Structure 1
């Protein structure tokens, strides 16, 4: 899923569309898998200091985990981690996301 859909810039709360997409994913996972193990990885771009970006990425992963839990997926089968700016999904030139 595109992070642009899930989160606004520098935010860890899911957007309305993000909540809908994660809820849809939760329903699909529940109907297709009986014993899933789900890894949720949060990301941030390289704009800003590394430590706050790492925290942002962790909060994003936890937001997705919480939304999936709201769809009935057990928190016990989900691992949420943040990668900060070490694995950005958006290319940034200077201080601007491209």
Structure 2
């Protein structure tokens, strides 16, 4: 899948979420940049702007959720394997949230 295809797929998912929120009884005709009906297009633009910080944060968290990153955290906070499961889990969550370990 190319980057353009991925971007189009993500926009399509976003539009489906927007349309579900916007309301089923309304007819929404899509255009290349959004929607043909001006009120819907304006609401779509607002929707994207409001969700952008959330989507950026989700991407940031997803980037941290890989095996290598978590293994690094474990080595850093519990290199000698002396922590209990709860303390280790807290350290991993703190690292993902951006807190100091």
Query: TM-score, normalization: structure 1?
Result: 0.26
**Structure with greater helix percent:** 2
Larger RCO: 1 or 2 (CA < 8 Å, sep 6+): 1
Point out the structure with max Rg over C-alpha: 2
